[in-house]
Chains A and B, each alone.
Chain A
């Protein structure tokens, strides 16, 4: 694989050095190279939002980035939110308590979208929550309990 490119990327606080194929998607890098399968791939072209991660603190679709673009950057995935299920982030706790998920496949992307949103807007209105999540698809819940979960998370933060 002589064409592979060397990258250094910090994922969930840990530094990784890897040689990657230049067209490897960031989503595939996270899932298949690093084993971080909490980042889900639902559409492969930036529509569903399931693969959303934080890139230097900003939510991005990891299926629309190449791993080489993450060289020198910091990535946070859903696995960064909690050490284990007994020490959940308030946002995770709220999704659990308020039934903000069913099949759960869209959930990691929704949580990662909301993390910086709630930091910059700790007291959002329903309309602001809906605008923040307008790039994330969920086929199970009808979104109403997701909005309830975000409101609870804001309350408990």
Chain B
């Protein structure tokens, strides 16, 4: 239904802001019920080692220690979002025959429960473990040789290989007048949500093992907790209190199972007391997955008038020690590495590879940023090789209604990328007025000391060079490649002749993006009542059906369709004079398909969002410091239900991608993270970020979206890095095929090409 008539765009202020500005909002670590016990988790610290023995005696003797859980206490000692390849607790005596081997430094091995946090920490330090060291594999290219297979049951370190075979490559290269190549390297990225993992485990009044934690998909957490605890699903409950950011980093489990396990085992001991665990920042950075590092070799051909003829690409993701969502991330990267363009001949091989490094997993963009960096860099190099404007070149090749993807299927109707590109170029003044004057009080200064933060630099500005760059992207909305997609909603209407009260039950997670505010707006519009009338009962598996995750830019789209459906049913029941009138729906979008194993042919997705960006960048060629003057981001959101929230998502995504492009550098050595602190892993502060982010909201309706809306939260992340490297090329004449663009990397590369100040 594209009918948008009964929903007015409205920047309704966040319904949760009152609690957040007063400090009343409870995040998981703030939950402090009476009679609380405290837990600490011991990590193995071993990137690859076999446990020979574990001795708890000294730890158990610490006053205040109530219980120490190890592998033998886990009923079904395995879990994982897409495959159960990870032990809940690495160690001895469980039914999982592989659970004695630690493959990751942050494999959990024991949980100490004590009267105080200090006692738990002290006891944790007294657990004695003897390890047999095993050889470690940290290089993906070494791992792919399979000389040492890390998961014996899998048979290979190549966790997944996808391929695309479209057209006739020989013909494609024969038609090409120009060919450009690239060898791209993309780094890890840490989510760095401000709220470290924390949670509460207890037995609720109905006797259920209950976990209150910050996650992204309550019902999937429940399924995994129930599986590991060997409990029926109706004996487990998951509740999300306020969530302090997620960005994909909470899609895999952290504390969910061990909190549930602790509550269950305590009850068996006759102790019905809640247990709370709060991770430190160090534990958070060590203990959850990252954005995958990627290696992309690719070659693109085009005719002299700028039509793409052929693309080959080989893409490798370091998926680390456990699968997490790596195969799904790989599927996206495999699709996006050829860009949002129509190409007649394509040959792509993509691999997710197991190593002893930190696992790769979901992070805003989900394989898209890695693919987009290669694809958009290639497009910008083609523009240079052809002497063509990069905007014009994109418009010649971009996907349009009826275009076939590399999967040999068309995208769903409503492809708006050409319009988005044109809007971005227009708002940025791409065709005229370059370079624009720098405006605003903090834009004026071109003083180098202020620019770099290095006060001792000479004040002259002849080392400053300015350039502009362009990039665009597409990204799926919702689960892909045949993964079952669904979203449930329930609405109750109370009153007599008039509706007096509305309650919406939904499990969709508000991770900070403002989902619950938008749910309320959509419910009000679907029912034709005031927003204030809608009460929410959110993110509790005891009251809501399965919503699917807060990921894949899917929640407004999927929840909106479920809320519309539930509202229609509730209104029908109201007409039938049911009191209360109840409507429940399990909404399913059109089905998608997995890749054909040989050709990759499939219908990968049911909806997409489209985005284009232009970047205005200054670089100091002497120091390598980069400042982003402005990023203009045009994003097709289909229908802007809450425009100010959309601006917030665009600005936040651009800044996170700025960090990915320039600042953030996770350091690993022999499978161990060296900088698990905010003092050493730098995320963008307010003085680092682009001086100005222009959000250009385009509204080309998605025919299947609720009120025409599209998903949008990930899309603005994707073009940032390639737009910045294009601008850097414009400023210096040098292509940077590897990020982050740290001053050291920039200076080294410029000097290699003889660029600098005498």
Q: Is the CB of B14 within 8 A of A96?
A: yes
For the complex, is A157 an interface residue (Cβ under 8 Å from B)?
no
For the complex, is B652 an interface residue (Cβ under 8 Å from A)?
yes
For the complex, is B656 an interface residue (Cβ under 8 Å from A)?
yes
For A102, the chain B residues whose CB sits under 8 A away are 245, 512-514, 648, 652
Taken together as a complex, chains A and B put the C-alpha atoms of A3 and B113 apart, in Å, by 24
For the complex, is B430 an interface residue (Cβ under 8 Å from A)?
no
Interface bits A31-69 vs B (CB < 8 Å: 1, else 0): 110011111111111111010000000000000000000
Q: Which residue of A lies closest to B195 (CB)?
A: A105
B27 to chain A, nearest CB (A): 6
Q: Is the CB of B441 within 8 A of A126?
A: yes
Q: Which residue of A lies closest to B694 (CB)?
A: A144
Taken together as a complex, chains A and B put the C-alpha atoms of A77 and B24 apart, in Å, by 12
- Range class of the B interface residue count: 35 or more
For the complex, is A143 an interface residue (Cβ under 8 Å from B)?
yes
Q: Which residue of B lies closest to A31 (CB)?
A: B30
Q: Which residue of B lies closest to A145 (CB)?
A: B648
Which of A31, A43, A85, A106 contacts B22, CB < 8 Å? A85
For A88, the chain B residues whose CB sits under 8 A away are 18, 21-22
Known: A43-B678, A104-B20. A140 touches B652 (CB 8 A): yes
For the complex, is B651 an interface residue (Cβ under 8 Å from A)?
yes
For the complex, is A2 an interface residue (Cβ under 8 Å from B)?
no
Q: Which residue of A lies closest to B514 (CB)?
A: A102
Which of A103, A108, A145, A146 contacts B511, CB < 8 Å? A103
Q: Is the CB of B194 within 8 A of A138?
A: yes
For the complex, is A9 an interface residue (Cβ under 8 Å from B)?
no
Residue in B30, B644, B685, B693 with the greatest tally of chain A CB atoms within 10 Å: B685
For the complex, is A154 an interface residue (Cβ under 8 Å from B)?
no
Q: Is the CB of B22 within 8 A of A38?
A: yes
Kindly identify, within residues 132 to 157 of chain A, every residue whose CB is under 8 Å from any CB belonging to chain B: 133-147
Q: Which residue of B lies closest to A84 (CB)?
A: B22
Q: Is the CB of B194 within 8 A of A106?
A: yes
Interface bits A118-138 vs B (CB < 8 Å: 1, else 0): 000000011100110111111
Which of A77, A139, A142, A144 contacts B245, CB < 8 Å? A139
Q: Is the CB of A142 within 8 A of B27?
A: no
For A130, the chain B residues whose CB sits under 8 A away are 442, 686-687
Taken together as a complex, chains A and B put the C-alpha atoms of A126 and B692 apart, in Å, by 12
Taken together as a complex, chains A and B put the C-alpha atoms of A107 and B24 apart, in Å, by 12
Q: Is the CB of B21 within 8 A of A137?
A: no
For the complex, is B280 an interface residue (Cβ under 8 Å from A)?
yes
Which of A32, A97, A106, A140 contacts B13, CB < 8 Å? A97
Kindly identify, within residues 186 to 203 of chain B, every residue whose CB is under 8 Å from any CB belonging to chain A: 191-196
Q: Is the CB of B20 within 8 A of A101?
A: yes
Taken together as a complex, chains A and B put the C-alpha atoms of A38 and B644 apart, in Å, by 25
Q: Which residue of A lies closest to B193 (CB)?
A: A139
Taken together as a complex, chains A and B put the C-alpha atoms of A25 and B303 apart, in Å, by 66
Q: Is the CB of A48 within 8 A of B194?
A: yes
Which of A92, A104, A127, A134 contacts B512, CB < 8 Å? A104
Known: A88-B21, A104-B17, A142-B652. A37 touches B32 (CB 8 A): yes
Q: Is the CB of A45 within 8 A of B678?
A: yes
For the complex, is B683 an interface residue (Cβ under 8 Å from A)?
yes
B249 to chain A, nearest CB (A): 10
Taken together as a complex, chains A and B put the C-alpha atoms of A63 and B427 apart, in Å, by 44
For the complex, is B156 an interface residue (Cβ under 8 Å from A)?
no
A47 to chain B, nearest CB (A): 4
For B442, the chain A residues whose CB sits under 8 A away are 125-127, 130
Interface bits B353-394 vs A (CB < 8 Å: 1, else 0): 000000000000000000000000000000000000000000
Taken together as a complex, chains A and B put the C-alpha atoms of A147 and B655 apart, in Å, by 14
For B13, the chain A residues whose CB sits under 8 A away are 96-97, 99
Known: A125-B442, A140-B652. A103 touches B678 (CB 8 A): no
For B14, the chain A residues whose CB sits under 8 A away are 96, 99, 101
Taken together as a complex, chains A and B put the C-alpha atoms of A99 and B648 apart, in Å, by 8
Residue in A111, A130, A142 with the greatest tally of chain B CB atoms within 10 Å: A142
Interface bits B637-653 vs A (CB < 8 Å: 1, else 0): 00000001101101111
Number of CB contacts from chain A to chain B under 8 A:
184
Taken together as a complex, chains A and B put the C-alpha atoms of A121 and B244 apart, in Å, by 30
Q: Is the CB of A81 within 8 A of B689?
A: no
A112 to chain B, nearest CB (A): 10
For the complex, is A29 an interface residue (Cβ under 8 Å from B)?
no
B371 to chain A, nearest CB (A): 23
Grouping DSSP codes into helix (H, G, I), strand (E, B) and loop, the B interface class, with mixed when no group exceeds half, is loop
Which of A46, A77, A96, A142 contacts B21, CB < 8 Å? A96
For B651, the chain A residues whose CB sits under 8 A away are 141-145
Q: Which residue of B lies closest to A135 (CB)?
A: B685
Residue in B14, B650, B686, B692 with the greatest tally of chain A CB atoms within 10 Å: B686
For B195, the chain A residues whose CB sits under 8 A away are 40, 42, 103, 105
Taken together as a complex, chains A and B put the C-alpha atoms of A82 and B478 apart, in Å, by 41
- Range class of the A interface residue count: 35 or more
A66 to chain B, nearest CB (A): 15
Interface bits B405-445 vs A (CB < 8 Å: 1, else 0): 00000000000000000000000000000000000111000
Q: Is the CB of B686 within 8 A of A146?
A: yes
For A104, the chain B residues whose CB sits under 8 A away are 16-17, 19-21, 25, 242, 244, 512
Q: Which residue of A lies closest to B191 (CB)?
A: A139
For B11, the chain A residues whose CB sits under 8 A away are 99
Q: Is the CB of A43 within 8 A of B17?
A: no
B192 to chain A, nearest CB (A): 5
For the complex, is B281 an interface residue (Cβ under 8 Å from A)?
yes
For the complex, is B654 an interface residue (Cβ under 8 Å from A)?
yes
B329 to chain A, nearest CB (A): 20
Q: Which residue of A lies closest to B36 (CB)?
A: A32
Q: Is the CB of B18 within 8 A of A137?
A: no
Q: Is the CB of B194 within 8 A of A40?
A: yes
For the complex, is B497 an interface residue (Cβ under 8 Å from A)?
no
Taken together as a complex, chains A and B put the C-alpha atoms of A125 and B655 apart, in Å, by 21
Interface bits B113-142 vs A (CB < 8 Å: 1, else 0): 000001000000000000000000000000
Which of B17, B280, B647, B679 contacts A101, CB < 8 Å? B17
B680 to chain A, nearest CB (A): 9
Q: Which residue of A lies closest to B680 (CB)?
A: A47
Q: Which residue of A lies closest to B192 (CB)?
A: A139
Q: Is the CB of A143 within 8 A of B655?
A: yes
For the complex, is A78 an interface residue (Cβ under 8 Å from B)?
yes
For A41, the chain B residues whose CB sits under 8 A away are 29, 196
Q: Is the CB of B26 within 8 A of A37?
A: yes
Q: Is the CB of B22 within 8 A of A103?
A: no
Residue in B17, B24, B25, B441 with the greatest tally of chain A CB atoms within 10 Å: B17
B498 to chain A, nearest CB (A): 27
For the complex, is B23 an interface residue (Cβ under 8 Å from A)?
yes
For B440, the chain A residues whose CB sits under 8 A away are 126
With A41-B29, A99-B644, A99-B648 known, 10 other A-B pairs at CB within 8 A are: A35-B32, A78-B22, A81-B22, A105-B193, A108-B21, A125-B441, A130-B687, A139-B683, A142-B655, A145-B647
CB<8 Å pairs between A and B, sample of 21? A40-B194, A43-B679, A78-B22, A82-B22, A85-B24, A92-B21, A92-B22, A95-B17, A96-B21, A99-B645, A99-B648, A101-B14, A101-B21, A105-B512, A125-B442, A127-B442, A137-B194, A137-B683, A139-B194, A142-B654, A145-B644
Which residues in A have some Cβ–Cβ distance to B below 8 Å? 21, 31-32, 35-48, 50, 77-79, 81-82, 84-85, 88, 92, 95-97, 99, 101-108, 111, 125-127, 130-131, 133-147
